[in-house]
Chains A and B, each alone.
Chain A
Amino acid sequence: MTDLFYDASPNATRIVQSNKAGREYPEKPDRVVLFGTCVVDLFFPEAGMDAIRLLEHQGIQVDFPQNQSCCGQPAWTSGYREQAESVARAQLALLDTGTPVVVPSGSCAGMIRHHYPGLFNHEPQTRDRALRVAENTFELTEFLLNVCRVRLQDRGRHRQVALHTSCTARREMQTHHHARGLLAQLSGVTRVDHDHESECCGFGGTFCVRMPDISGAMVADKTQSLSQSGADELISADCGCLLNINGAMNRQNLNLKGRHIASFLWERCQEGS
């Protein structure tokens, strides 16, 4: 009977190959495609530009296909699959070039990497294309850390920052690890924790307009814990969350602002910053 309990001992430590064994990274390429995402396009273009600068600084040529638009996530998470498919199909046609795709947003990168293939289960050809693109898509911080293996030279003054990671980015792209890894390279930057750090900021795409009061309560708690963290600045790799948190902090007249990590890193690496 003893083997009845084989899997149930509370703290058994066994070495088992995790099925989530990380991703295998390629050598640094000469060229990448930047997929900007719609929120960056309209509200945080400087983050996109700083991503381009960071990549070029690594000796990589960056293409920005002018025909790109949105990854399709808003329709997809709202239940409008047909519309999401159509928009995703258009991006896939553009991105399926064999050149690595870098995305300055964890949740959009996750959409392309983890959800595009499933969207086209009924269309084998598009599905193959989606699988190819998915395999070749990287979130910006992941790409800088694990593909470029950057060594950042911090030239800025001492600063304390808090890091917020979008929930999907954390789960699907491990963006919290990558962003922490990059921030840790900056000698003048201290990353401070904030209360309930891994809790959702309440953005959730259309959630924030469908359930405004709940979303409002969530972002209010988030800004409160951020303002109590002692951080001078908020850093995030996700502009959806930034739009939400910044909007709330501005409304509450808090002396704290969030910035995309690309802009922060680029600034830190400039002379006299």
Chain B
Amino acid sequence: MTQSIPVTNLDGDFKTRARHALDDAQLRNNFRTAMDGLMHKREQAFSDPQEREDLRDLGNRIRARALSQLPDLLDQLEQRLTANGVRVHWAETTEEANEIVHRLIEAQEGRQVVKGKSMVSEEMELNDYLAERDIECLESDLGEYTVQLDHEKPSHIIMPAIHKNARQVARLFQEKLGGELSDDIHELVGTGRQILRQKFMEADVGVSGVNFAVAETGTLVLVENEGNGRMSTTVPPVHIAVTGIEKVVANLRDVVPLLSLLTRSALGQPITTYINMISGPRKDDERDGPREVHLVLLDNGRSRAFADAQLRQTLNCIRCGACMNHCPVYTRVGGHTYGEVYPGPIGKILTPHLVGLDRVPDHPSASSLCGACGDVCPVKIPIPELLQRLREENVRHPEDSEAAVAGAGSRYSNREQLIWRGWQWLNTHPRIYRLFLWGVTRLRRLQPARLRPWTDYRSAPTPAARSLHEQARNHMRSKS
């Protein structure tokens, strides 16, 4: 066991970060152990494969239907929420979303904010934005709290501190909060809880995410296991929910199967400990709940993804994390290697729309297209297909007007174009192809022993003495 807590390495490009992560035995062990456990739990939660596949089909149809009506559903959502007393705000960029949230806090003269787990707020980098304006924003989810204490970013969308094991968390808590060193999970949770309870009571504003925004009834559905979400959304006088525009679903009936898919795919739970259904602020005759409820709906590149029929499927995602739990690449390099808010397979297909493909040009290639992600995705997003589409976008000519993603064409290279044209020519000219086979098999001993990067981890393969073309031809001749 290493003595120091591994520091998240966010320097360099994807490959450099990956190399650091691969060299960190502790980190790799933490991820492998955790992911193996999660895969097992999911499998147990779906013990009837037929039922699982039916439910995934249904989940896919519900999400696809919601997206096909997205503009209408968003209109309806705004109307119903407004009728329920919730104020709705629209933000095209994260900057706008931050300004809105800041303005709402300032209106309360708020100085302390508690936040439930929200990936969209990570997308906005809300904590930093508020900190620069002298507003303390405390994470109340224990995993988020842990990474916040260590000035890190989440490494998983469901379990933000999964890159640390219990001992590492214990050491961090002792270092930052004092007290006894204990790596008993229950004691650690107890320590976190005590601190957070106090903060809930003092907070001026609670911020949360949203799992499903229900258009028909104007309900914000939020699932969680720690109760911190309920505290963040009910104790402070003002609740601000932030979410992406794709989170809308038509009605409550649609939520039921999605919820079952979400909790079983994420942690193998039949249901979460808490399901919060928020449909408005405290009424005059009610004794608790926030005085004001706001919803900030963020676009941040989503509508551009929406415009492309194939890429639109990215927006089906219900953020369960199963794709990363099952990803052989994520398991080995961990979440921080991706360098962005959303790691793993969903991160690879979503991030280009949020920040531009040119900022994450390695994302589409960082996959063996093994398809484990697509096989487990509860809403059946064809992740490998979308990765491949992004590879196409990546190597387009930068001035190609048909580009569907911002920053497309950043991996356009004349050299690669030439290689693939040569490959095409070879494979469409049978005589040349056979001549090529003849040459390679005859000169096979001349092949260099080092063919980097292949030979970094493997011996170089030696071509056969005679190609199949040649052997088959001789075989057929000898028969006739």
Q: Which residues of A are at the interface with B, using a C-beta cutoff of 8 A?
A: 4-5, 7-8, 10-16, 18-20, 34, 36, 38, 40-46, 48-49, 52, 63-64, 66-70, 72, 74-81, 83, 86-87, 90, 167-168, 171, 199-200, 202-220, 243-244, 246-248, 250-251
Closest Cβ of chain B to A174, distance in Å, is 13
B 415-458 binary contact with A (CB < 8 Å = 1; else 0): 00000110110111010011001001100000000001111111
Closest Cβ of chain B to A191, distance in Å, is 22
Output the nearest chain A residue to B257 by Cβ-Cβ distance. A7
Output the nearest chain B residue to A83 by Cβ-Cβ distance. B424
Contact B437 A203 (CB under 8 A): no
Q: Say whether, besides A12-B48, A42-B463, A86-B428, A211 and B440 are in contact (CB < 8 Å).
A: no
Residues of A within 8 A of B15 (CB): 211, 213
Contact B372 A69 (CB under 8 A): no
Output the nearest chain A residue to B424 by Cβ-Cβ distance. A83
Contact B18 A214 (CB under 8 A): yes
Compute how far the CA of A206 lies from the CA of B391 in the bound complex, rounded to whole angstroms.
12
Contact B45 A212 (CB under 8 A): no
Report B3-51 residues with CB < 8 Å from chain A CB: 15, 18-19, 22, 45, 47-48, 50-51
Compute how far the CA of A114 lies from the CA of B449 in the bound complex, rounded to whole angstroms.
37
The 4 closest A-B pairs by CB, nearest first: A204-B368, A247-B458, A79-B391, A216-B457
Q: Which of A44, A80, A246 has the most CB of B within 10 A?
A: A80
Q: Which of A10, A44, A219 has the most CB of B within 10 A?
A: A10
Compute how far the CA of A234 lies from the CA of B5 in the bound complex, rounded to whole angstroms.
40
Contact A204 B426 (CB under 8 A): no
Q: Say whether, besides A8-B256, A200-B370, A207 and B463 are in contact (CB < 8 Å).
A: no
Residues of B within 8 A of A90 (CB): 427-428
What are 14 A-B residue pairs whose CB atoms fall within 8 Å in the complex? A4-B253, A7-B55, A10-B264, A18-B53, A19-B53, A20-B53, A42-B440, A200-B372, A205-B368, A206-B365, A208-B454, A218-B368, A244-B458, A248-B457
Output the nearest chain B residue to A70 by Cβ-Cβ distance. B427
Query: Which residue of B257, B329, B424, B476 contacts A64 across the interface (Cβ within 8 Å)?
Result: B476
- Is residue B471 contacting chain A, with contact meaning CB distance below 8 A? yes
Contact B428 A69 (CB under 8 A): yes
Contact B457 A36 (CB under 8 A): no
Compute how far the CA of A42 lies from the CA of B462 in the bound complex, rounded to whole angstroms.
9
Closest Cβ of chain B to A119, distance in Å, is 12
Q: Say whether, besides A7-B257, A14-B50, A49-B468, A168 and B371 are in contact (CB < 8 Å).
A: yes
Query: Which residue of A10, A167, A205, A250 contacts B372 across the interface (Cβ within 8 Å)?
Result: A167
- Is residue B64 contacting chain A, with contact meaning CB distance below 8 A? no
- Is residue B367 contacting chain A, with contact meaning CB distance below 8 A? yes
Output the nearest chain A residue to B252 by Cβ-Cβ distance. A4
Contact B461 A7 (CB under 8 A): no
Compute how far the CA of A11 lies from the CA of B433 in the bound complex, rounded to whole angstroms.
55
Q: Say whether, besides A43-B464, A212-B453, A205 and B369 are in contact (CB < 8 Å).
A: yes
- Is residue B54 contacting chain A, with contact meaning CB distance below 8 A? yes
Closest Cβ of chain B to A267, distance in Å, is 17
Compute how far the CA of A8 lies from the CA of B462 in the bound complex, rounded to whole angstroms.
54
Compute how far the CA of A66 lies from the CA of B453 in the bound complex, rounded to whole angstroms.
32
Contact A43 B366 (CB under 8 A): no
Contact B430 A67 (CB under 8 A): yes
- Is residue B58 contacting chain A, with contact meaning CB distance below 8 A? yes
Compute how far the CA of A48 lies from the CA of B456 in the bound complex, rounded to whole angstroms.
29
- Is residue B87 contacting chain A, with contact meaning CB distance below 8 A? no
Compute how far the CA of A44 lies from the CA of B433 in the bound complex, rounded to whole angstroms.
17
Q: Say whether, besides A4-B253, A10-B45, A77 and B391 are in contact (CB < 8 Å).
A: yes
Closest Cβ of chain A to B388, distance in Å, is 6
Q: Say whether, besides A200-B372, A210-B365, A243 and B461 are in contact (CB < 8 Å).
A: yes
Query: Which residue of B50, B270, B456 contacts A10 across the interface (Cβ within 8 Å)?
Result: B270
Q: Say whether, besides A7-B55, A78-B391, A199-B328, A66 and B19 are in contact (CB < 8 Å).
A: no
Residues of A within 8 A of B434 (CB): 66
Contact A251 B458 (CB under 8 A): yes
Query: Which residue of A13, A19, A167, A210 contacts B370 across the interface (Cβ within 8 Å)?
Result: A167
Closest Cβ of chain B to A28, distance in Å, is 20
Query: Which residue of A72, A202, A219, A243 contacts B427 across the interface (Cβ within 8 Å)?
Result: A72
Residues of B within 8 A of A41 (CB): 437, 467-469
Contact B368 A42 (CB under 8 A): no
Query: Which residue of B51, B395, B475 contacts A11 across the interface (Cβ within 8 Å)?
Result: B51
Closest Cβ of chain A to B216, distance in Å, is 13
Residues of B within 8 A of A45 (CB): 464, 466-468, 470-471
- Is residue B333 contacting chain A, with contact meaning CB distance below 8 A? yes
Compute how far the CA of A75 lies from the CA of B246 in the bound complex, rounded to whole angstroms.
33
- Other contacts beyond A18-B50, A75-B424: 6, CB < 8 A: A81-B392, A83-B421, A167-B368, A204-B369, A212-B452, A247-B457
